[in-house]
Structure 1
């Protein structure tokens, strides 16, 4: 064989190998993407968005309902890939050990401008109940029936409240935590406020229902973790390196309060998270552009074109 033919054959082989390399964006093991749903409406909304877009890109998202503690244990044990709901600093204790040993990694913030803490109706704040210390006053504790309302057992907010209750110098010393679902807590709050009764409960932003309520955050939370918050994206150790394309997509995800409020409202009214996310993406076709930057479909194709086709836009 002549040198020219050998050179041409070599070029052909290189071209074939290059094309084959470009064809697969991620390994086959990366096709299934396992995400945690801890039952909070905001995380249902953001996980719904991620799931819809991952499906459009040719991946197979699997959303698994887990508590916060089980979520982190599952990330450590490689039974889970992604969690979009690391509220900080309130979840510092939940992630601290996992982050220290490196079994759970944080790849960025997906929401800023959030808030988290104990709230009271504005009429209570107007009556002088403005700080955590105010709750210790006997007459206020009596009007509250010695109860503070939280959400599901095991979540970080309830844990912070229980820690406060356990401290004798805390405004919540001697109180009882009533644990319920998010919907159950909100129903209790709405009924109490309708009758102008006193109540203290766990509140957060974004939230369409609480966003419409006339409520005030209590001051004086110290270093409890309540107050201004950011929401971080967590993945299992080595996930981004192992699955760089989907890892890039997950890292790119950044949301805002308006977006989450809109979708949360629809979900709380009975909408399926994926259906709600699909409708929102159809109405906001440019929103996905920054999330798809540097990303391809699972088989190496045009991500933007695939999403546009999937959404029928």
Structure 2
């Protein structure tokens, strides 16, 4: 008799757990777009971890170009993103789509973009580059062509008269791979760079001065969502509206990822190690 009661009890418990799991799963799917940049990978996975682990949503991350990311949110094909660089880098995208999406404001202060070189490079300003084009092999190593920093670098080449240079399209991973190889050989190299990024913790780097102000001053990273998200998924909207962290926070996650950790595992680790910050984001 006791054995039968135990079996019945286990079945009831299994059904209850199954019901709970189904209830959580039934909260729906959230779609977040991101670009394969270290900062975007870190923030997207932290938000994914919060929505899945703390609130029970299913979250799908979609890697796209910067232009496609903005377009997808404006058209309502995805719910949001955590990596809008404003006011300079992505300013032209915001101007184009601002009436078709919602800017939830800053989630990270103190960001910036520019041309980055190893500290052993003996020049300090962009306007000195032409005189040393041979040492740079006439190249500025960039990232994906749709990135705002690429259009700004094309502008810099024009404004500074860098006629001896070509902007090379690649990816964030390829850019850092080239940087790594050049540093190993103590060779000159210039790359499109931004902060926050784990490369600054890995190597001794510096931004070249930008006296013409092409790259702007300090940037902020904003969270952008589609129109109607607040009405459709108020909990998701609340988290994304309240999500904010520091350069130290994102740098920690980027560091784990750079060491080979799975980005989602890094997101879960960070939210478990920072419960008070996460609590402030939750409904």
- Which TM-score applies when normalising by structure 1? 0.77
Structure 2 distance, partners of 1:224, 1:95, is 18
Per the TM alignment, residue 84 of structure 1 is displaced from its structure 2 partner at its CA by 0.5
Residues paired across the two proteins, number: 257
Structure 1 distance, partners of 2:150, 2:211, is 14
Structure 2 distance, partners of 1:159, 1:30, is 40
Aligned to 2:183: 193
Aligned to 2:134: 142
Aligned to 2:22: none
Aligned to 1:301: none
Does 2:283 correspond to 1:284?
no
Structure 2 distance, partners of 1:173, 1:57, is 53
Structure 2 distance, partners of 1:234, 1:132, is 32
Aligned to 1:98: 97
Structure 2 distance, partners of 1:130, 1:216, is 8
Aligned to 1:39: 36
**Consecutive aligned runs of 4 or more in structure 1 exceeding 3 Å deviation:** none
Change (3 A) 1:199 1:227: farther
- Is the Cα–Cα contact under 8 Å of residues 132 and 171 in structure 1 kept in the other structure? no
Q: Deviations over 1:211-255 (max 9, x none)?
A: 332111111253433442110011112322443322111100001
Aligned 1:132-281 pairs, distance under 5 A: 132-137=126-131, 140-165=132-157, 167=158, 169-220=159-210, 222-281=212-271
SS of the aligned residue for 2:251 comes to helix
Structure 1 distance, partners of 2:27, 2:222, is 22
Per the TM alignment, residue 160 of structure 1 is displaced from its structure 2 partner at its CA by 1.5
Change (3 A) 1:38 1:123: same
Bigger drift between 208-217 and 104-113 goes to: 208-217
Structure 2 distance, partners of 1:221, 1:267, is 34
- Is the Cα–Cα contact under 8 Å of residues 150 and 185 in structure 1 kept in the other structure? yes
Aligned to 2:119: 122
Per the TM alignment, residue 141 of structure 1 is displaced from its structure 2 partner at its CA by 1.1
Structure 1 distance, partners of 2:27, 2:64, is 21
- Which TM-score applies when normalising by structure 2? 0.84
CA RMSD of aligned residues (A): 2.0
Aligned to 1:49: 46
Where structure 1 has 5 or more consecutive residues not aligned to the other structure, the ranges are 1-27, 296-313
Aligned to 1:74: 72
Q: Deviations over 1:281-312 (max 9, x none)?
A: 222222212111xx1xxxxxxxxxxxxxxxxx
Where structure 2 has 5 or more consecutive residues not aligned to the other structure, the ranges are 1-24
Structure 2 distance, partners of 1:248, 1:280, is 20
Q: Deviations over 1:141-172 (max 9, x none)?
A: 1211110011122211112112333x2x4243
For the pair shown, which has the larger CA radius of gyration, 1 or 2? Answer: 1
Bigger drift between 252-261 and 171-180 goes to: 171-180
Per the TM alignment, residue 62 of structure 1 is displaced from its structure 2 partner at its CA by 1.3
